[in-house]
């Protein structure tokens, strides 16, 4: 496996992805590839992306997150975005950006509950 942009944790069939770095365009694109590879190689059925440390999510980052979730779905894997900061949620809503193909949760436990219900 190539170097990972974000270190991930496998829990059951789920992959926890805590993003703690600045999401520039090439980083988010690399992360997309990394996650698709991990879904396939590690037999992942659910991805939990923790964005509690991400303080800007703009239209392109939103686009790539939704696109990644759609790709993951095609591979039989659901995506939950977890712990969006209040001011980020406010900004996304005001811009009229909707995160498509993803589930959202406000805690890791909530994210796992969502994935368990989907199985």
Partner 1 sequence: MMDDKNFNDIDINVHDYDIVLKIKDENDIAVSRQMAKSFAQKNNFSLADVTKIATAISELSRNIYRYAKEGYIYIKKKETEPGKDISIEIIAYDRGPGIENVERAVAGGYTTSQRSLGLGLSGIRRLMDSFYIKSEVGKGTVVVVEKRRRRF
Question: Which stretches of the chain bind partner 1, using CB under 8 A?
Answer: 22-26, 55-60, 62-64, 67, 85-88, 90-91, 94-97
**In 3D, which of 105, 114, 23, 15 has the Cα closest to residue 63?**
23
When the beta carbons of 34 and 66 are compared against partner 1, the nearer one is 66
When the beta carbons of 45 and 104 are compared against partner 1, the nearer one is 104
| 25 CB burial (10 A radius; 0-12, 13-18, 19+) | exposed
When the beta carbons of 85 and 114 are compared against partner 1, the nearer one is 85
**Closest distance between partner 1 and the C-beta of residue 58, in Å?**
4
In the three-class reduction of DSSP (H, G, I as helix; E, B as strand; rest coil), residue 79 is classed as strand
CA distance 51 to 111: 12
**Closest distance between partner 1 and the C-beta of residue 97, in Å?**
6
**Closest distance between partner 1 and the C-beta of residue 88, in Å?**
6
Q: Token pair of 47, please?
A: 């991805």
């Amino acid at each position: 496996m190539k170097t990972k942009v974000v270190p991930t944790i496998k829990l059951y069939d789920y992959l926890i992805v805590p993003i703690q770095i600045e999401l520039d365009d090439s980083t988010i694109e690399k992360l997309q590839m990394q996650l698709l590879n991990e879904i396939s190689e590690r037999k992942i059925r659910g991805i939990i992306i923790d964005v509690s440390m991400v303080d800007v999510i703009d239209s392109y980052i939103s686009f790539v997150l939704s696109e990644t979730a759609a790709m993951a779905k095609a591979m039989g894997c659901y995506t939950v975005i977890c712990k969006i900061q209040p001011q980020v949620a406010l900004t996304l809503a005001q811009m009229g950006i909707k995160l498509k193909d993803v589930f959202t949760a406000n805690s890791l436990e909530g994210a796992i509950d969502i994935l368990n219900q989907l199985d």
